[in-house]
Amino acid sequence: MSKKYVYDFEEGNASMKALLGGKGSNLCEMTSLNIPVPPGFIVSVDACQAYYNEWGESLPNEIIEDYKSHMLKVEEKMGKKFGDTEDPLLVSVRSGAAISMPGMMDTVLNLGLNDKSVLGLAKKTQNERFAWDSYRRFIQMFGNVVMNIDSALFEKELDIIKESKHVEFDTDLDASDLQNVVKAYKKLVRKEKGIDFPQDPYDQLKMGIEAVFSSWNNNRAIIYRKLNNIPKEINGTAVNVQVMVYGNKGETSGTGVCFSRDPSTGANVFYGEYLMNAQGEDVVAGIRTPNPMSTLKVQNEKLYNELLKYSQILEKHYKDMQDMEFTIEEGKLYMLQTRNGKRTAAAAVQVAVDLVEEGLITEKEAVLSILPEQIDQLLHPQFDTNAEKKTKILGKGLPASPGAAVGSVVFNAQEAYDKNQNGEKVILVRVETSPEDLMGMDAAQGILTTRGGMTSHAAVVARGMGKCCIAGCSDAKISESAKTLTIGGEVFKEGDFISLNGSLGNIYGGKIPVVEPALTGHFETLMNWADKYKKLIIKTNSDTPEDTATAVRFGAEGIGLCRTEHMFFEESRINAVREMIVSENIDERKKALDKIEPFQQKDFEGIFNVLEGKPAIIRLLDPPLHEFLPKEEADIEKVAKEVGVSVSHLKQTIEDLHEFNPMLGFRGCRLGVIYPEISEMQARAIFKAAQNVKGAQPWIEIPLVGNVKEYTILKEVVLKVAKELKAENVNFKIGTMIEVPRASLTADELAKECDFFSFGTNDLTQMTCGFSRDDAGKFLQLYVDKGIYDRDPFQTIDKVGVGRLMKQTVELARKVKPDFHIGICGEHGGDPESVEFCHEIGLNEVSCSPYRVPIAKLAAAQAALKE
Amino acid sequence: MSKKYVYDFEEGNASMKALLGGKGSNLCEMTSLNIPVPPGFIVSVDACQAYYNEWGESLPNEIIEDYKSHMLKVEEKMGKKFGDTEDPLLVSVRSGAAISMPGMMDTVLNLGLNDKSVLGLAKKTQNERFAWDSYRRFIQMFGNVVMNIDSALFEKELDIIKESKHVEFDTDLDASDLQNVVKAYKKLVRKEKGIDFPQDPYDQLKMGIEAVFSSWNNNRAIIYRKLNNIPKEINGTAVNVQVMVYGNKGETSGTGVCFSRDPSTGANVFYGEYLMNAQGEDVVAGIRTPNPMSTLKVQNEKLYNELLKYSQILEKHYKDMQDMEFTIEEGKLYMLQTRNGKRTAAAAVQVAVDLVEEGLITEKEAVLSILPEQIDQLLHPQFDTNAEKKTKILGKGLPASPGAAVGSVVFNAQEAYDKNQNGEKVILVRVETSPEDLMGMDAAQGILTTRGGMTSHAAVVARGMGKCCIAGCSDAKISESAKTLTIGGEVFKEGDFISLNGSLGNIYGGKIPVVEPALTGHFETLMNWADKYKKLIIKTNSDTPEDTATAVRFGAEGIGLCRTEHMFFEESRINAVREMIVSENIDERKKALDKIEPFQQKDFEGIFNVLEGKPAIIRLLDPPLHEFLPKEEADIEKVAKEVGVSVSHLKQTIEDLHEFNPMLGFRGCRLGVIYPEISEMQARAIFKAAQNVKGAQPWIEIPLVGNVKEYTILKEVVLKVAKELKAENVNFKIGTMIEVPRASLTADELAKECDFFSFGTNDLTQMTCGFSRDDAGKFLQLYVDKGIYDRDPFQTIDKVGVGRLMKQTVELARKVKPDFHIGICGEHGGDPESVEFCHEIGLNEVSCSPYRVPIAKLAAAQAALKE
């Protein structure tokens, strides 16, 4: 074996994440910083890939020999021997990919124990109970994780013995009880698998390492990677083999998790939780509720200070908030892991800005440190403070992930998923969550658990998802069989509404109204830095003064898409619109249009007022006309009466307007080319509004252009109106949306005639890929699952196809006009990866929904900084 | 005026068509050949453009002075003066564009006459009747053409005088009657226009020239240019001002039209028609039925021989069949016009091949001489000879344009157009046709007129359109008011069926069955030459052995598109297809597919047998599945019973399959990606069939690919089947249709995986231009009328947009595989202009419907020869 697959902790460092995984490379780094880390070695990610691609999912002898030689070095350091019957060296076997996937892959502890060494361990530690408890835990974990025996079967054996002893807790069992448990477990293994529990430590180790490699492709890991958009280049996990230290060797031992800052708020306080006489899994799994760090300070200040020191060293070293695991073995502190801590968006912003102020990182690094998608959390509504104050708090839990959530109660992940598919908003209520609950958590508005701490599964995953979560709410009682949640004396059945404040941990009955978030404090500081470094202009898609005001508050620099047809649907004018559609000649049509015009003018005045001189791209009428007409028989009769035509006339109009493929039908500029009076009316409303509002900057946008002549015909219509209204002094532009592939292909011709382009990537994606968004549901998810498309091309720009066309469009246009202004509007404008792409191909602006403006801005700044 | 706008006939030649028009440049050429041509001059096409673009549609003084100086030269040659009161020089003023547009633009004869010179003319010619007849004709023509007075008003005045004299024909009026006609006409002019009829010859000339220029943009000229796809570069007409010679100076005068060969059959016989004592318009307008050339030979052999001599000189000179106009003035022959004669397709082929055999032109010139679109005529069915023999001939007319036509009788152009729009086949029956009838002629299967000769309007236009026409059928009587056609004693009302044999001039009642045309004789010779020079492979679109056999007879070199879904619709298997669609799981689906497989296999065996080793591109199932299900309630019930599912289940399936934009929905390769068992079945049927037929060459085509991974998934499915069936020895290929823009954009990726591409330009046009063919009817014709698209992009490839994408596709693919095979199928493959484009961008093959194979072949040969 010429290639190096196994590394001592002394051989690696933090930069070797891709090869050694996040956990392993950090163990190496800590080792080099002289932090007390139990020794060990790492089997690399390369080995994992070889395991799948070359070794037929079985470790070859060469690699076994290789890690045996590394084990010898560990034995030397510890002065113990792996598998020794007198004083056995025991190890943990853990996964560790380049990107953290907490709880997704397998772990085995206490590996190296067998029927003989358990006796030596008992003797050496003078703690028979500890030795047998370790052995029974090892058999249970190994049996489940490596040998695939249902965990419940082990629990059942344990329960039988507890019942026979009439005790409630594991801790009430003594050494001889635990010996019986071991016997029962070994019998179970033989029964289930037809073989004896492996006694040879190196057999155990080989099986353990293989199990971790295999767990890379278990179902929940695959789902996790998909949910978190983990790139395909992250392909495999390393295995960390490390000497065991024990937090469960009695009351001078313990284990815990700590953060160099508060991961929920970002406040610069040392933060953590621990349990004495416990193993790490006990804290993370949320089975017992742990103590806060402040208790440790009281109980053992020296140890607390040592931990705090390591925390500070590590934060300074990594220049970021650290998430650390530690174990105290008989009074001695070991650091088992450190990594950049997961945090809420609020914490992320707080930490980033604080670190700049503390001089640890630069503004640019701060901007680059925040995942743009994550700050979505900060942009979601919170409860209305007054309403919340007046509402009775039914109970309190840990504020595990901030934000507000309102929904009906569901008790399992499947229900949550199903109801969400039906458009219902739900709160997932569980005793505790496990990786099997992932899909349900994703589907819920918020999560409430009755057990587990701030670092429990529910809390960690919810924070990652930016989803409101209250964990460990012991005030609440759940009956899974009756499907009831009892809290504060009230009983909630499935379907009843509750409200969660994830920032405070408060639980309320019913629905509390929510209010808009604001861009202030540290968040404002960060966004100002983003403004400083970004190159793209960030605008918003908005059709109303209200949405425009929200977007401007979030920093929008104008409107990138104002869809005028939304105004047509309003109660006050929809019938005038219908009159226009059923018109039989141009005079009737003009009469109806005259009724609509003053409304449109007011719409635009409202928007211009809010914009205070910022530009607004206003798209002329786009949808097919049949969208404005009723579909149901009863509605048809009603509308016919209101509009003043016969039912048969209206029906005939509806039939005439029927289309086989409305997406590709009579819409967009085609309406204006055939009925120029519609475009004239809209142009008149825009110019009159602009003349009434100082500084108004309308950019008039002709939609669905595929041919330069369509554009020039409507440009002439608009210019004629401008002339008639003497609107030459209005600061206006005329341009087109690029959404038809032919427009892209002839962008040079179009650019000659246009003042600007804006990519309508929704339609451009539909036509370029040849699938309609409304219909693609049938196969698109399967396409993503099969890897035909890496992402849903309606969410993230399909760079390979649509992106190539966009790039070509930009090149063609700039060949004609080197400084030509080009933007993008629609869903993709708020997607960070798409924003980065837009920066790369040299667009001038992106436009997105008001609530995504800061996300787009941050993504734009990062794109500029990454250059 | 520095630019030269006016040319004597001595100053031009045949190569100056663009500047002097076809007619003018040929008059110049004839003049230089010493053919007796009445002298004159030409106001150029450049002047026409200036007239519209610079001169505000009025001739400036400079140009008037210019042509006056040319008129002086003509006066010198003739020894007469324009406007002279003793012996006036009279001229004709005629249009003449670079491309002939017979009868579309205006002409004025006898110009120069006025109240005084008419007296001089009478004296000089000793023919008072002739002088006054000329003057009244002049006023009528000038009044109508130049002054826009309705021609019927003049006819009415004439009728009043005829009635008062109790005579039937104009010729029965004497000089004094005609003087009265002139008086009446002048009064009419004053009444209608408020001015006196212009007396100054140069005023007349200016108005005449301006009228001709203006007629370039009259309605019927615009329609003609559109119908005949006359390019926009042909922009304006020249005006020919030529000394008048008279065929109506008595019985030693006459006028006629002749062809150097028979324009109907192409036979090398001198052919023509003339009328003595008549003006040219009398022959062309079809008002009197003229005499054949053979009569002239008998009446005046010397003149006949002189005419024949000029005909031979001109044909040799122009190396093509000539269409000549002549006038005999008091025994002296003048040639007024020559041009390459319009001819039927049969004649075109005959003439071209004969000219090669006579050594006048080369094979290449012969191939280039035929309009590919025209040979469509030769490829249309003729009557079944036996059936025709047994059918009673009701009447006979002139075989003005060959072919067979069956349809219901209509009596005006509007009816013809309307019924054609409703999908009805009609025969347009008219006394005679005029340019106003163009749209109706285009809409009819065939045309029958009761008046007019082989060179009448109906005959000329029908031949140009390749449409069956019988002209001058005096056996038939039409009552336009009663809407009846009476012929051979039978009365046909509107809607009754008749059959026309345009090659023989026979008219039958009812519908006669038709038979297929064949590729033999001269046509075969020509197509062999085309084969020799073309570079493109010409294949056919065919789904049946029958169509394939037809195509092979026409020279198809394989199948370029076999749509397998057409086979799914057949009675014998449609229910098995429906069973597949309503299946609830893969096993049910496979069971249904097993039923379909043997049918598919037989389909392919049939096709492979006919192809005898030629390749066949077989496209896997393409349409959305809902197309196979019933739509009407009653059908749903029937089908549910037949297929053996509940009505509600079938309805649910139909609902599930409903799509908003089926064009962009679940179809094409998407079906196979989601249900690979469908593609497996088709692949199995193809390979088994290929194993059963020696030399079979299936090229399996994956439809609607937009992403290389869709393709590779289905390629694997096909290859797996091939392996299972041990079909490695089958000579097969796998490729894809390029019809989704994204496939074009990623053609390099696709080419790596494919053996071939075939452009599906129907769908590619829909998606690239963003309009659905089914829905675009609402605006596409208007778009073409407005010049947004030059042509219907579904008929001729939109070179600017779709074409650019195609070019790019070819370049990307050939960058990866320099010899990569690329073709095109669908409608565009049979359109000559599109075929030329395919040649230009380097495609390897085009595929079209069987009946268009020779057209595509000829277009391909011409494209290659034009290089």
SS3 A537: strand
User: What's the CA gap between A790 and A801, in Å, rounded?
Assistant: 12
Least CB–CB distance from A770: residue in B767, B787, B802: B767
* A348-381 pLDDT per residue, tens: 999 999 999 999 999 999 999 999 988 877 887 6
Helix (H) or strand (E) holding A178: helix A175-193
What Cα–Cα distance (Å) separates residue A104 from each residue in A48, A222, A257, A348, B524?
A: 16, 9, 18, 23, 75
* Per-residue pLDDT at B285: 63
Q: Which entry of A258, A825, A838, A848 is annotated as an active-site residue?
A: A825
Contacts of A447 by beta carbon, 8 Å cutoff, 6+ apart: A401, A427, A428, A429, A430, A433, A441, A458, A462, A467, A468, A469, A470, A471
Least CB–CB distance from B768: residue in A739, A741, A779: A741
A-facing residues of B in 804-833 (CB < 8 A) are 804-805
DSSP character string of A839-859: HHTT-SEEEE-GGGHHHHHHH
* Per-residue pLDDT at A749: 97
Beta carbons of B763 and A770 less than 8 Å apart: yes
B-facing residues of A in 219-278 (CB < 8 A) are none
Of the pLDDT bands very low, low, confident and very high (cuts 50, 70, 90), residue B800 is: very high
Is a pLDDT exceeding 80 seen at residue B163?
A: yes
User: What's the CA gap between A593 and A671, in Å, rounded?
Assistant: 14
* B109-155 pLDDT per residue, tens: 999 999 999 999 999 988 899 999 999 999 999 999 999 999 899 99
Q: Give A662 to chain B, closest Cα distance, Å.
A: 7
* Per-residue pLDDT at B706: 97
Least CB–CB distance from B772: residue in A661, A707, A782: A661
Phi first, then psi: what are they for B734, rounded to 5°? Answer: -130, 135
User: What's the CA gap between A513 and A755, in Å, rounded?
Assistant: 44
Of B458, B537, B553, B411, nearest to B839 by C-alpha is B537
Is a pLDDT exceeding 60 seen at residue B1?
A: no
Is a pLDDT exceeding 80 seen at residue B377?
A: no
* Per-residue pLDDT at B464: 58
User: What's the CA gap between A451 and B522, in Å, rounded?
Assistant: 95
Beta carbons of A786 and B670 less than 8 Å apart: no
Least confident of A289-293, A521-525, A796-800: A289-293
Beta carbons of B746 and A783 less than 8 Å apart: no
Please compute the mean of the pLDDT values over residues B829-836 and round it to a whole number.
94
* A41-56 pLDDT per residue, tens: 999 999 999 999 999 9
User: What's the CA gap between A625 and A596, in Å, rounded?
Assistant: 15
A579 touches chain B (CB under 8 A): no
Is a pLDDT exceeding 70 seen at residue A1?
A: no
Contacts of B791 by beta carbon, 8 Å cutoff, 6+ apart: B229, B784, B798, B833
CA atoms within 13 A on the CB side of B309: 12
DSSP character string of A749-788: HHHHH-SEEEEEHHHHHHHHHT--TTTTHHHHHHHHHTTS
SS3 B4: coil
* Per-residue pLDDT at B466: 63
Return the DSSP state at B474: T
Of A327, A328, A355, nearest to A341 by C-alpha is A355
Q: Give A474 to chain B, closest Cα distance, Å.
A: 46
Q: Which entry of B457, B522, B828, B839 is annotated as an active-site residue?
A: B457
SS3 A561: strand
B-facing residues of A in 639-678 (CB < 8 A) are 659-666, 670, 673-674
Least CB–CB distance from B770: residue in A704, A774, A775: A704
Nearest CA in chain B to A790: B709
B292 touches chain A (CB under 8 A): no
Q: Give B11 to chain A, closest Cα distance, Å.
A: 41
Of B427, B467, B430, nearest to B450 by C-alpha is B430
* Per-residue pLDDT at B818: 97
Least CB–CB distance from A666: residue in B742, B779, B804: B779
Q: Which entry of A380, A457, A522, A821 is annotated as an active-site residue?
A: A457
CA atoms within 13 A on the CB side of A646: 4
User: Pseudo-torsion of CA B344, B345, B347, B350, nearest 10°?
Assistant: 180
Least confident of A99-108, A810-819, B181-190: A99-108
- Tell me whether residue B457 is one of the annotated catalytic residues: yes
Nearest CA in chain A to B776: A665
Of the pLDDT bands very low, low, confident and very high (cuts 50, 70, 90), residue B339 is: confident
Beta carbons of B801 and A746 less than 8 Å apart: yes
* Per-residue pLDDT at B403: 84
- A715 neighbourhood in chain B, CB within 8 Å: none
* A675-706 pLDDT per residue, tens: 999 999 999 999 999 999 999 999 999 999 99
- B716 neighbourhood in chain A, CB within 8 Å: none
User: What's the CA gap between A156 and B495, in Å, rounded?
Assistant: 91
- A661 neighbourhood in chain B, CB within 8 Å: 661-664, 772, 774-775
Is a pLDDT exceeding 60 seen at residue A767?
A: yes
User: What's the CA gap between B144 and B188, in Å, rounded?
Assistant: 11
* Per-residue pLDDT at A525: 96
Is residue B426 within 8 A of residue B500, CB to CB? The reply is no
User: What's the CA gap between B27 and B284, in Å, rounded?
Assistant: 19
Nearest CA in chain A to B778: A666
| Signed CA dihedral, A728, A732, A733, A737: sign only | negative
DSSP-assigned beta bridge partners for residue B396:
B506
DSSP-assigned beta bridge partners for residue B735:
B701
DSSP character string of B276-334: ES--HHHHHTTSS--EEHHHHHHH-HHHHHHHHHHHHHHHHHHTS-EEEEEEEETTEEE
pLDDT, chain B, mean: 92
Of the pLDDT bands very low, low, confident and very high (cuts 50, 70, 90), residue B378 is: confident
* Per-residue pLDDT at A99: 86
Is a pLDDT exceeding 90 seen at residue B867?
A: no
CA atoms within 13 A on the CB side of B547: 19
DSSP character string of A708-744: HHHHHHHHHHHHHHHHHTT-TTS--EEEEEE-SHHHH
Helix (H) or strand (E) holding B354: helix B345-357
Q: Give A772 to chain B, closest Cα distance, Å.
A: 5
Residue bearing tokens 């069926």: B497
Least CB–CB distance from B769: residue in A742, A786, A798: A742
Beta carbons of B770 and A787 less than 8 Å apart: no
User: What's the CA gap between B491 and B487, in Å, rounded?
Assistant: 7
SS3 A491: strand
Q: Give A805 to chain B, closest Cα distance, Å.
A: 7
SS3 B429: strand
Contacts of A824 by beta carbon, 8 Å cutoff, 6+ apart: A560, A758, A759, A761, A834, A838, A843, A845, A846, A847
* ipTM exceeding cut-off 0.90 for this assembly: no
- A788 neighbourhood in chain B, CB within 8 Å: 673, 707, 709-710, 713
Residue bearing tokens 């030689």: A69
Exposed (0-12), middle (13-18) or buried (19+): which is B292, by Cβ within 10 Å? middle
Q: In sequence order, what E strands does A574-723 have?
A: 615-619, 697-702
Amino acid at A552: V
> End-to-end alpha-carbon separation of chain A, Å?
40
Q: Give B49 to chain A, closest Cα distance, Å.
A: 23
* Per-residue pLDDT at A617: 98
A753 touches chain B (CB under 8 A): no
User: What's the CA gap between A256 and B407, in Å, rounded?
Assistant: 94
Least confident of A46-60, A224-238, A600-614, B10-24: A224-238
Inter-chain CB pairs, A–B, below 8 Å: 174
Q: Produce one character per residue of B178-209: b if its CB has 16 or more CB atoms within 10 Å, e if not.
A: bbbbbebbbebbeeeeeeebbeebeebbbbbb
* A701-737 pLDDT per residue, tens: 999 999 999 999 999 999 999 999 999 899 999 999 9
B867 touches chain A (CB under 8 A): no
Q: Which entry of B469, B562, B669, B825 is annotated as an active-site residue?
A: B825
A-facing residues of B in 732-751 (CB < 8 A) are 739-742, 745-746, 749
* Per-residue pLDDT at B286: 61
CA atoms within 13 A on the CB side of A644: 8
* Per-residue pLDDT at B570: 76
> End-to-end alpha-carbon separation of chain B, Å?
39
- A771 neighbourhood in chain B, CB within 8 Å: 664-665, 670, 706
DSSP-assigned beta bridge partners for residue B513:
none
Is residue B744 within 8 A of residue B699, CB to CB? The reply is no
> Best-predicted range by mean pLDDT among A712-726, A848-862, B220-234?
A712-726
* Per-residue pLDDT at A778: 77
Q: Give A628 to chain B, closest Cα distance, Å.
A: 16
DSSP-assigned beta bridge partners for residue B538:
B846
A-facing residues of B in 679-738 (CB < 8 A) are 704, 706-707, 709-710, 713
User: What's the CA gap between B673 and A786, in Å, rounded?
Assistant: 10
The radius of gyration of chain A from alpha carbons, rounded to an integer in Å, stands at: 32
Nearest CA in chain B to A741: B768
- B801 neighbourhood in chain A, CB within 8 Å: 706-707, 742, 745-746
- Tell me whether residue A457 is one of the annotated catalytic residues: yes
Is a pLDDT exceeding 60 seen at residue B527?
A: yes
pLDDT, chain A, mean: 92
